[in-house]
Amino acid sequence: MTATFINLGCRTNAAETDEVTALLAGARDVVVVNSCTVTGAADRDTRKAVARARREHPGAAVILMGCYVDAHPGDTLGADLVVPNRLKPLPDPEAVVEPPGTRRSRYVLKVQEGCDNRCTFCIVWQTRGRSLSRALPYLEARARAAAAVGYREIVLTGIDLGSYRGGLAALVRRLLEAAAPARIRLSSVDPFHVDPDLVALLEHPRFCPHLHLPLQSGSDRVLARMRRRYDLATFERAVDMARAVRPDLALTGDVMVGFPGETEADFQRTLEAIERARFMQLHVFRFSPRPRTAAARYPDRVPPELARDRSHRAIALGHRLRVEYEAGFAGRRLQVVWDRVVGDRIRGVSEHYLQVTAPAPGRRPGQLEEVVWQPDQGSPPAGGRPAEAVG
């Protein structure tokens, strides 16, 4: 068997898995599991992935890397080799970038590692270490190489992306030049990193009008207990600033419900903040105590059934807001990067992060095409809304 890679968790993990894939090109009888530990469910997925690797590839060496290793030192899960984050191999600047469609159709470029924040619920700052930024010449070379082999979208990612040394806006400007004709999209950015320089870039035709801003809670009291470095007013100023430049901004984000001590009034403030922000996609997480974090020691836990109910209510609100946002795009022309083929349809993502499907014949993953967004006719195909090609 050739080398097999199992990626779990965030986009930064996805970028690292791609880098290890390039380093192990030609290797055989190896399974690499790049793990996640952000929640208890992520831990369970990691344990299942290692067990599945042993079961399905009995003669292969299993390598376990990623945040699970650092969060659970000494727990190898039966892997032959465990690699903590600090010992992950550095990517070769000259490594060949595989063309789109081999693993994914949008190139994920890791620009930063680690986090200097100390959120009380988060284990990642302990597993990833302090914030470090990759050198600009290296990033320009990788972006240029990705565009040269056919990628038409490059997603910038990091553990704390907004902390990039020298400023995120300056980095984006340089990569827009290096990556032409590909467009640039950001992964998650904290609200306090949204500044006028970054917002001004939303007018650039190849900078996706999409921001992923974690809200976590609409209650300043809960945000303070989480030790987030912003309050609700800071979050809403960031949204207002961005929408003043791009009224059609695609806003996605994260919300945590059931944090210790969260009252019904706190949760209502969260629902109200979600409504005002008009998220087009919302990731809702229930609080999951992580080892060695301050919040895991908080005594005032929200009962699981109440946290579950709040999760369902937040998800329902997020779904309604997404439908409302999508309705505003009926008949609009969108630039879609086709992602993957499912049956006789191909799925893609527009610059506004709208999920689109179209007939697969004549289209390929990685291709950029202008389409017309069609109003929803009954139940849409799984994974997107129908579109028609322009011209």
pLDDT digits 0-9 by tens, 285-339: 999 999 899 999 999 999 999 999 999 999 999 999 999 999 999 889 999 999 9
- Measured CA to CA, the distance from residue 46 to residue 363 in angstroms comes to 35
Task: For residues 62-77, give the mean pLDDT.
Answer: 93
Strand partners, 337: 349, 368
Closest CA to 332 of 266, 387, 288: 387
Query: Tokens 């090109």, residue?
Result: 25
pLDDT of res. 2? 80
Tell me if 252 is assigned to some domain: yes
Residues 208 and 144 in one domain: yes
pLDDT-above-90 percentage for the chain: 82
pLDDT higher than threshold 90 for residue 175: yes
pLDDT digits 0-9 by tens, 356-385: 999 999 999 999 999 998 755 433 444 456
Residues 222 and 357 in one domain: no
Going by pLDDT thresholds of 50, 70 and 90, the confidence category of residue 20 is confident
End-to-end alpha carbon distance in the chain: 45
Residues 175 and 277 in one domain: yes
**CA count, 13 A, side-chain hemisphere, 150:** 13
pLDDT digits 0-9 by tens, 237-258: 999 999 999 999 999 999 999 9
pLDDT higher than threshold 90 for residue 23: no
Q: How many domains does the chain have?
A: 3
pLDDT digits 0-9 by tens, 125-154: 999 999 999 999 999 999 999 999 999 999
Residues 306 and 215 in one domain: yes
pLDDT of res. 390? 63
Count CB neighbours of 228 within 10 A: 24
Mean pLDDT, the chain, whole residue set: 92
pLDDT of res. 95? 76
Tell me if 99 is assigned to some domain: no
The highest-confidence range among 11-15, 96-100, 295-299, by mean pLDDT, is 295-299
pLDDT of res. 26? 79
Domain boundary among 25, 53, 87: 87
Residues 131 and 272 in one domain: yes
Tell me if 254 is assigned to some domain: yes
212: domain range? 107-327
Predicted TM-score (pTM) of this structure: 0.92
Contacts for 248 with CB less than 8 Å, ≥ 6 apart: 209, 328, 352
- Residue ranges of alpha helices (H) inside the chain are 11-23, 40-56, 67-71, 124-128, 136-148, 168-178, 196-200, 220-226, 232-245, 264-277, 304-327
Angle between helices 264-277 and 304-327 (to 10 degrees): 10
Going by pLDDT thresholds of 50, 70 and 90, the confidence category of residue 92 is confident
Closest CA to 359 of 386, 339, 332: 386
pLDDT of res. 385? 62
